[in-house]
Amino acid sequence: MPLFNQSIRRKIVGIALGLIVLMLVTSILSMVMSGQVGVLLDELTNRYIPAYSHLARANIRSLERALALRRMVMTRMGSASDEEAYAARLREFEALDRKFEEEAETARKLINAIIDDPRTSSDNAALARLDVRIESAVTELRRNLDEGNTKLLKQIEAKDMAEARGTLEQLDLLRDAFNRKVDAIRGDMLTQVFFSTSQVISRQYQAIIVSGVVTLLAAVLGFAFALLVSSGITRPVRLLLAGTREVEAGRFDKTITVSTQDEIGELAAAFNRMTEQLRHNERVRETFGRYIDPKVVQGLIDRPEVAIDGQRRVMTIMFCDMSGFTAMSEGMTPRGLVRVMNHYFTMMSGPIRSNRGIIDKYIGDAIMAYWGPPFIEEDEPALLAGLAAIDMADQVPALQKQLPDLLGIRAMPGLCDLRIGIATGEVLTGSIGSELMMSFTVMGDAVNLASRLEAVNKTYGTRILISQATADAIGSHLELREVDRLAVAGQSVPQTIFEVMGRSGELTAAHESLRSHYAGGLAAYRARRFDEARAAFNVALEAVPGDGPSRAMLTRITQFEANPPGEGWDGAWRLEQK
């Protein structure tokens, strides 16, 4: 089975076993070669060198033997009656004679042991010649010395000193000849010692080289296998890392090539399945993101208990409606109406999304949206809703120009515009619905108030009306105008409502004058100084002709002049009076 089809555990164990085998081979070779070197060293130290030493001592023993012989002769010549001293010299001579032969015989035995040892590659022919030469030299010396010694002793006994001296000289010549032979043998023996020493050194070098080569081979093979396996592991791991970073960046089209069948290969296959599932989930999310706001989906995924249990939070609610929609839709075909509504919702939903709002639902031609935690911080909802409303109102001129082109007509039968109501208050957030279908939405008085404010725009001729709580939260970040106090059905306390006129610092001088005179007229109106109020509202209309709230208040003053309010009138307008 190929290496890459094995598991990581088997790969690592295989590499370890391979390295262990190479280490064992290296150790065995080292032990074998070290054993051979040991045998050669043993032969050198226990045979070659001792054999050479015994030959050297044999030479010395021959000299000592000759000296003992002279002492023995001198003892006999000095005092013929001293038999005891002569006998002692004779014993000394005979002992040295035996030692001489023992040294020579021991050297021969060691040489023969070297020859007989099959474990070493000695020069057995040269050693055999040395053995023969030693034997020949010792035998010849023994024969000549025995004859000379016998002759010398007879001459000494006969008191023939002149002849004895001649015999001694002959014995010295024989000894010198023997010593020369022994020196030659020792020289040849030393050559053999050097040869054995060179073998030991050569085998040592050879053992070192072989051990180094095998060790290097083991290291190279081990590194090669380790590199091969590690690359087989690290390459897919790098691919997995790159794929993980792609997924982290939100790109789910990364696919990893599975080149192994080990755990990394299984992980890569699992990663591919995961990215395929993520791509599928992303397609589902993109699809359902058109029906449910993606932030709601993500919030429900992160905190599902919010949808189940519900929570009470302070949020800002917006209702947006298209004015003139009924008259405009009467002459449209269904296809044309769908095209117009889709375009309208696309243009109006953009500012809500860009200002981090949540689109709750589309109701006919109306949009319901909200801002609040946990999607944004608690101090941001009112301002973001106001900014979104201004951006939506800014889209109206472009929408009015685009609608005829969408319908393929020269001019619209009616003028379309926006009505936006915004209210802030505590609402209940959670999943509302039946067992068959649920909707994550918001419920509460603030929702009802926002819906009523959207509708009240028609009464005042305005686009954006907000509640008192919303205005308090916005503060000076937007240009606001107090419009009226409104008593909404179901609420006993009147609500002060405001119009969003624009972003902070963007009002023209005319609109500044409008806001100032309108505030004066509103104060006079609440104080029942209707003539003063009428004058102030007329000045406001001169600043901005066609101002809806000013015209509405003038109409109301005319009604009050015909039918004055009662004593308990608090200056608030009640929707039931419409």
Q: Which pLDDT band, with edges at 50, 70 and 90, does 578 fall under?
A: very low
* Cα distances (Å, whole numbers) of residue 509 to 393, 503, 505, 513: 20, 14, 11, 6
Residue 490: name the closest of 456, 454, 449, 429 by CA.
Answer: 449
Tokens at 203, concatenated: 């085998």
Helix (H, G, I), strand (E, B) or coil at 134: helix
Sequence-separated contacts (24+) of 69-77 with Cβ below 8 Å: 69/93, 69/149, 69/152, 69/168, 69/171, 70/168, 73/152, 73/156, 73/164, 73/168, 76/156, 77/156, 77/161, 77/164
What's this model's pTM, rounded to 2 decimal places? 0.56
In sequence order, what are the beta bridge partners of 431? Answer: 440
Residue 320: name the closest of 459, 498, 451 by CA.
Answer: 451
Burial letters 113-132, b for 16+ CB under 10 A, else e: ebbeeeebebeeebbeebbe
CA atoms of 192 and 145, how far apart (whole Å): 30
CA atoms of 41 and 197, how far apart (whole Å): 8
CA torsion through residues 529, 530, 532, 533, sign: positive
Q: Are 386 and 478 in contact (CB under 8 A)?
A: yes
Q: What pLDDT sits at residue 575?
A: 63
pLDDT, tens digit (0-9, with 9 covering 90-100), for 466-489? 999 999 999 999 999 999 998 877
Q: Are 416 and 431 in contact (CB under 8 A)?
A: no
Which comes out higher in pLDDT, residue 398 or 74?
398
CA atoms of 377 and 324, how far apart (whole Å): 36
pLDDT, tens digit (0-9, with 9 covering 90-100), for 5-25? 556 667 677 777 777 887 787
Please say if the pLDDT value at position 284 is more than 50.
Answer: yes
Q: Are 439 and 433 in contact (CB under 8 A)?
A: yes
Q: Which pLDDT band, with edges at 50, 70 and 90, does 167 fall under?
A: confident
CA atoms of 347 and 77, how far apart (whole Å): 152
